[in-house]
Amino acid sequence: MMSTMPRLACLFLAVCAVGCKKSAPAASGPPEVVDVAVTDKTPAPDQVGLDLAALTARASDTIGKTGGLRVSDGGTGNAKRNYKLRVEVRTEGAEDAAAKKGVMRALVTARLQPIGAEVGALSFEQTAVAEHVYEVGKRGDAQVAWRAHTLRAVEDVVKGVGARVRLASGDASALVAALDGADEDLREEAMRAAGERKEPAAVPSLVKLLKSEDHDTRDRAIGALQEIGDKRAVRPLTEVARFRDLSDLPKVLDALAAIGGDEARSYLEFVASGHDSVEIRDLAKQALTHLERRQNPPDLGAAGRR
């Protein structure tokens, strides 16, 4: 029997055109999307009869509103910051005679890519699967609903791309909003960006994420706090290590060594001398050594003065 899948399932991939640790350089004007196109990659495109003009118009309007990008029919003299948006839709259908149900699915992929070779320009891609279930024998009526459903799917995917554009070019408030939001993919990207930018405004939101039941989320939050190096994170990190399983503890020890300070040192000394696990005690001793080297770097000129 055919099972009903979720209406929209998203898989996010954001990549940098040149080096993910490089931010786009300043330019004389705002970036522009000068080329928007939606194509139907279905082997038999007449099966659904998508209105590509309507889909293109919706994609163009959505990227402008959610990404904060100017959308125009051509460049306005700012060629180094021109982008193109490509959206591909591929549909398929299947019917279950016993259940008298049919399903039509579309794989929707949106790509925002720079035109030209601007160093550090960002490129974004998002893919989603949209699904519409209909009664067998009423497929003609379902096609109308399916076209509307595909329109919404294209809008949702382009919104995801636009949200990441805002995150990549936005201020601390955009990062915090993404960290506190419900979009898991966007939150993951925000944690990476917060650590990369060493953004102190993100610390309270990252501390909240330390309480997540998801190990990967906690792991990313610990890593971001380590990169930021704000001492406000020390006590919350020790509490994570105290109440979570031991899989969190090695990364917490590394984070505390990187952040430093008296409170971090005291905790590392406590673990190094009193933890039940020999392995964990050794890791804490190594972390203490790293902390001491960071806070008291060797005088490289001393040997030459002797």
Check whether residue 228 and residue 147 sit in a common domain. Answer: no
Q: What is the value of pTM for the model shown?
A: 0.66
pLDDT at position 299: 61
pLDDT at position 117: 55
Residue 1 within any structural domain of the chain: no
Q: Which of 156-165, 225-234, 236-245 has the lowest mean pLDDT?
A: 236-245
Check whether residue 190 and residue 75 sit in a common domain. Answer: no
Query: Look-up: residue for tokens 């959505």?
Result: 62
Q: Which residues pair with 135 in a beta bridge?
A: 101
Domain termination residue (choose one: 117, 139, 169) = 169
Q: CA-to-CA distance for 256 and 263, rounded, in angstroms?
A: 9
Residue 273 belongs to domain with CATH number? 1.25.10.10
Check whether residue 105 and residue 198 sit in a common domain. Answer: no
Q: What is the pLDDT of residues 183-227, one digit of tens each?
A: 888 899 899 999 999 999 999 999 999 999 898 999 999 999 999
Cα end-to-end distance, the chain, whole Å: 83
- How many domains does the chain fold into? 2
In terms of phi and psi (left: phi > 0; alpha: psi -120 to 50; beta: otherwise), the region of 53 is: alpha
Per-residue three-class SS string for the chain: CCCCCCCEEEEEEEEECCCCCCCCCCCCCCCEEEEEEEEECCCCHHHCCCCHHHHHHHHHHHHHHHHCCEECCCCCCCHHHEEEEEEEEEEEEEEECCCCEEEEEEEEEEEEEECCCCCCCEEEEEEEEEEEEEECCCHHHHHHHHHHHHHHHHHHHHHHHHHHHHHHHCCHHHHHHHHHCCCHHHHHHHHHHHHHHCCHHHHHHHHHHCCCCCHHHHHHHHHHHHHHCCHHHHHHHHHHHHHCCCCCHHHHHHHHHHHCCHHHHHHHHHHHHHCCCHHHHHHHHHHHHHHHHHHCCCCCCHHHHC
Q: Which residues contact 202 (CB under 8 A, 6 or more apart)?
A: 172, 175, 176, 179, 190, 194, 224, 228
Q: Which of 112-126, 183-197, 221-235 has the lowest mean pLDDT?
A: 112-126
Residue ranges making up the domain that contains 104:
8-20+31-169
Q: What is the pLDDT of residues 12-58, one digit of tens each?
A: 333 332 233 334 444 445 578 889 999 999 887 666 678 899 999 99
Residue 25 within any structural domain of the chain: no
> Which pairing describes strands 70-71 and 32-40: parallel, antiparallel, or unpaired?
parallel
Residue 239 within any structural domain of the chain: yes
Q: Is the pLDDT of residue 236 over 90?
A: yes
Q: Is the pLDDT of residue 265 over 90?
A: yes
Residue 114 within any structural domain of the chain: yes
pLDDT at position 8: 39
Check whether residue 37 and residue 142 sit in a common domain. Answer: yes
184-215 in b/e form (b: 16+ CB < 10 A) is ebbbbbbbbbbbebebebbbebbbebbeeeee
Check whether residue 95 and residue 234 sit in a common domain. Answer: no
255 vs 124, which has greater pLDDT?
A: 255
Q: What is the pLDDT of residues 128-159, one digit of tens each?
A: 888 878 787 765 666 777 788 889 899 999 99
Which range is most confident: 102-106, 114-118, 258-262? 258-262
Residue 99 belongs to domain with CATH number? 3.30.160.150
Percentage of residues in the chain having pLDDT higher than 70: 78
Check whether residue 12 and residue 149 sit in a common domain. Answer: yes
CA 55 to chain centre: 25
Q: CA-to-CA distance for 154 and 135, rounded, in angstroms?
A: 24
Residue 300 within any structural domain of the chain: no
Check whether residue 75 and residue 157 sit in a common domain. Answer: yes
167 vs 299, which has greater pLDDT?
A: 167
Residue 230 within any structural domain of the chain: yes
Check whether residue 148 and residue 188 sit in a common domain. Answer: no
Asked if 132 contacts 104 with a C-beta cutoff of 8 angstroms, the reply is yes
Please provide the average confidence, as pLDDT, over all residues in the chain: 81
Check whether residue 245 and residue 112 sit in a common domain. Answer: no
Check whether residue 197 and residue 159 sit in a common domain. Answer: no
Q: Is the pLDDT of residue 121 over 50?
A: yes
Axis-axis angle for helices 52-67, 139-169 (nearest 10): 30
Q: Is the pLDDT of residue 256 over 90?
A: yes
Check whether residue 204 and residue 236 sit in a common domain. Answer: yes
Q: Which residues contact 10 (CB under 8 A, 6 or more apart)?
A: 126, 127, 128, 156, 157, 160, 185
Residue 88 within any structural domain of the chain: yes
Domain termination residue (choose one: 116, 141, 169) = 169
Check whether residue 156 and residue 15 sit in a common domain. Answer: yes
Q: Which residues pair with 109 in a beta bridge?
A: 88, 127
pLDDT at position 217: 93
Give the pLDDT mean for 241-268: 87
pLDDT at position 141: 65
Domain termination residue (choose one: 169, 195, 227) = 169
245 vs 81, which has greater pLDDT?
A: 81
Residue 89 within any structural domain of the chain: yes
